[in-house]
Chain A
């Protein structure tokens, strides 16, 4: 028989422990101030940093590696539109809970290094005033084309067009991704490489299997021909035997 209201008192004891503990035990605090500030002489406010061309933030100095704000599109080394990873499959557009992504598929396919010609997004807009930073687009993307950015200085006097990020604003290089989220980018690259290697191995295996099949087929044809020639010499009226025989041979191989 438990005491009435004991659960409430227990909970209150836990919160009291947290309340008092957080004043004495720095380990308890799950938010640390200015954790990115490796150099104390740097300004504390993000706005005080000089802005670089094309990137609003100085990389990794003003936000932590764990900051995720709005999505961006990745491209590999080279011209952004030549090496864009997105193939305009529109999975993210369909999955996006607040439906802030708008994609228009291109009419033509584009050559890209290391793969066959693919479609590309003719339009790729993200309305960041609608985006809720849920990262679902990142989760569902099969091409590792969309990842989270940590850029947060997005304030603009134009609340409609200013907050609608176009394809050009969203495209970021893989190096930039490595700069802002080093751990995540490294693990993602490793996974892509692994997938590629696995694919290659599979391809090779498939080729080998093809080769083997070819040989088997040749052998089969040979044996069939032989059988046929034999059967021809006999009086053949039962066709089923002819068809079952090669199958058996394949099975034994």
Chain B
């Protein structure tokens, strides 16, 4: 047994297991608060530190809510339907959490307590980290369908089937929009992609990078079943989709897995497009890198919450149409634009400002007009809905 290696691995992984579940707990609270405020409500503000002995309690804006939720989840009865497949019913939530946790290791988080040598425990800094990331997150689809299938419930099965259709479809624009970054950085290694963006050379500050980031973000919303793409768990249509038959700790695991997947995919977006740990003051204080990385993840999560409070859920046909007829052609076009832009920029060293301006205007114009055209074509096929039996 190589104890040195074990120690190094633990130094990398244990912080992840502390930071992200903590962030999950806080995010559930922030999400409930933010959604409440968006709807002009107050949100959870009661649970705090009980101090009845000293008269009253410390409510702390309801910050005790995650703890209370967790305790409740832990002590709830674990109900398994009589006809359910018990083994897979148990495995599904675990399988949904594992890949989400696993891919966190591939994020280029440079913890300050790691020496350069340990940093190369980059058992996790694979050369194919980006590919590995997508491969592992793809497992989540399996977990969701497993849950739907094992529950022996029509709603759950419908939810699982919706999830498969949705996640498989949106994986394509997700990967295609990440391709442009890999092309430009010339590496699949997350650490090297991060390094190539140092000094405010973030890919989101390029026209094609911006477009790819938007596509990536939309696809990642669908990939993590977030609103407005939360069809697999649509409460109003199919009760709660694949969650229907889950209660207690298994449900909590699903919940945790979903949020960790959100952090992971936001982390990947930050790595690919938003310069990973790059930010003001990192040259003088390298340990700020971790803070910036987490702050950027929180920023993206904030936007996800904001969108959830704003947009209504899509219909199934709209969802599939959006992936295949809109996002996919755009992301393929974006790859070509990236190639041309990169070529133009690298072959014309002189007067780089004009070249840059032309690239910006031309590529954004092409992308926008294509998007507009696709939108028009897609919309022309939408007819008023006709009902056969109902009114």
Q: Do A and B come from one complex?
A: yes
Chain A residues at the B interface, C-beta cutoff of 8 Å: 1, 4, 8, 11-12, 14-16, 18-19, 21-23, 28-31, 33
Chain A residues with Cβ below 8 Å from B38 are 15, 18-19
B42 touches A31 (CB 8 A): yes
B311 at the interface (CB under 8 A from A): yes
- Report chain A residues within 8 Å CB of B37: 18-19, 22-23
Q: Is the pair B41, A30 in contact by a Cβ cutoff of 8 Å? A: yes
Partner of B306, one of A4, A12, A21, A28: A12
Tell me if B39 is interfacial: C-beta within 8 Å of chain A: yes
CB nearest neighbor in A for B375: A4
Q: Are B372 and A8 in contact (CB under 8 A)?
A: no
What A residues does B307 contact at CB under 8 A? 12
Interchain CA distance A31-B42 in the complex, whole Å: 8
**Cβ–Cβ < 8 Å partners of B368 in chain A:** 4
Q: List, in ascending order, chain B residues with CB within 8 A of A18's CB.
A: 37-40
With a cutoff of 8 Å between Cβ atoms, the chain A residues found around residue B375 in the complex are: 4
In the complex, the answer to whether B311 meets A33 with C-beta atoms within 8 Å is: no
Give, as a whole number of angstroms, the nearest-CB distance from A134 to chain B: 15
> Which residues from chain B contact A14 at a C-beta distance below 8 Å?
310
Interface string of B100-138 (1 = CB under 8 A from A): 000000000000000000000000000000000000000
For B39, the closest partner residue in chain A by CB is A18
Give Cα A246–Cα B183 distance, bound, in whole angstroms: 104
Query: Quick one: which of B34, B42, B371, B372 contacts A19, CB cutoff 8 A?
Result: B34
- Residues of A within 8 Å of B41, CB to CB, are 22, 29-31
Chain B residue with the shortest CB-CB distance to A1: B372
Chain B residues with Cβ below 8 Å from A12 are 306-307, 310
Question: Which chain B residue shows the least CB distance to A9?
Answer: B310
Per the bound structure, the CA–CA distance linking A11 and B307 in Å amounts to 9
Task: Give B contacts to A, CB under 8 Å.
Answer: 34, 37-42, 306-307, 309-311, 368, 371-372, 375
A28 to B36, CA, bound (A): 12
In the bound complex, do residue A4 and residue B42 qualify as a contact, i.e. CB atoms below 8 Å apart? no
Contact of A11 with B306 in the complex, beta carbons under 8 Å: no
Beyond A4-B375, A22-B37, A23-B37, is A15–B306 a contact (Cβ under 8 Å)? yes
Residues of B within 8 A of A4 (CB): 368, 371-372, 375
The residue among A11, A15, A31 with the most chain B CB atoms within 10 A of its own CB is A15
- Which secondary structure dominates where chain A touches chain B? helix
* Measured CA separation A29–B34 after assembly (Å): 13
Q: Pick the 8 closest A-B CB pairs, nearest first.
A: A15-B310, A15-B38, A11-B310, A19-B37, A22-B37, A28-B40, A19-B38, A15-B309
Give chain B residues whose Cβ lies under 8 Å from the Cβ of A8: 310-311
Which residues of A have CB within 8 Å of B311? Answer: 8, 11
Task: For the complex formed, measure the closest distance between the CB of B51 and the CB atoms of chain A, giving whole angstroms.
Answer: 16
Measured between C-beta atoms, what is the minimum distance from A233 to chain B in Å? Answer: 68
Q: How far is the CA of A23 from the CA of B34 in the complex (A)?
A: 11
Q: Is the CB of B42 within 8 A of A29?
A: yes
Q: State how many angstroms separate the Cβ of A24 from the closest Cβ of chain B.
A: 11
Q: Which of chain A's residues has its CB closest to B368's CB?
A: A4
Interface centre among B40, B372, B375, by most A CB within 10 Å?
B40
Determine whether the beta carbon of A22 is less than 8 Å from that of B40.
yes
With the chains together, A235 CA to B117 CA distance in Å?
136
- Please, which residues of chain A bring their CB within 8 A of the CB of B372? 1, 4
CB distance from A5 to the nearest CB of B (A): 9
Chain A, Cβ-Cβ closest to B309: A15
CB of A18 to closest CB in B, whole Å? 5
Q: A18-B37, A22-B37 are in contact. Are A33 and B42 (CB under 8 A)?
A: yes
Establish whether residues A29 and B310, one from each chain, have CB atoms under 8 Å apart when the complex forms: no
Cα–Cα distance between A28 and B41 once the two chains are bound (Å): 9
Shortest Cβ distance from residue A21 to the other chain B in the assembled complex, whole angstroms: 8
Which chain B residues border A1 with CB–CB below 8 Å?
372
Does B40 contact A29, Cβ atoms closer than 8 Å? yes
Q: Nearest Cβ distance between residue B247 and chain A, in whole angstroms?
A: 16
A30 to chain B minimum Cβ distance, whole angstroms, is 5
Provide a sorted-by-A list of 18 A–B residue pairs whose CB atoms are within 8 angstroms.
A4-B371, A4-B375, A8-B310, A8-B311, A11-B310, A11-B311, A12-B306, A12-B307, A15-B38, A15-B306, A18-B39, A19-B38, A22-B37, A22-B40, A28-B40, A29-B40, A31-B41, A31-B42
Known: A8-B311, A14-B310. 15 other contacts (CB 8 A): A4-B372, A8-B310, A11-B310, A11-B311, A12-B307, A12-B310, A15-B38, A15-B309, A16-B306, A18-B37, A21-B40, A23-B37, A29-B42, A30-B41, A31-B42
CB distance from A190 to the nearest CB of B (A): 33
CA of A69 to CA of B309, assembled, Å: 28
Shortest C-beta distance, B24 to chain A (Å), equals: 22
CA distance A167 to B318 in the complex (A): 50
Q: Which residues of B contact A30 (CB under 8 A)?
A: 40-41
Report the bound CA distance from A153 to B372 in whole Å: 56
Q: How far is the CB of B212 from chain A (nearest CB, A)?
A: 16
The smallest beta-carbon distance between B154 and chain A, in angstroms, is 19
Min Cβ gap B306→A in Å is 6
Question: Which of A8, A19, A30, A33 has the most chain B CB within a 10 Å cutoff?
Answer: A19
| A22 proximity list for chain B (CB < 8 A) | 37, 40-41
Nearest CB on A from B216, distance (A): 16
List B contacts of A11 (CB < 8 A).
310-311
> Once bound together, how far apart are the Cα atoms of A247 and B115, in whole Å?
115
In the assembled complex, the CB of A14 is this many whole angstroms from the nearest CB of chain B, namely: 8
Bound Cα distance from A19 to B305, whole angstroms: 12
Closest to A30 in B: B40
B249 CB to nearest A CB, Å: 22
Q: Chain A's nearest CB lies how many Å from the CB of B271?
A: 25
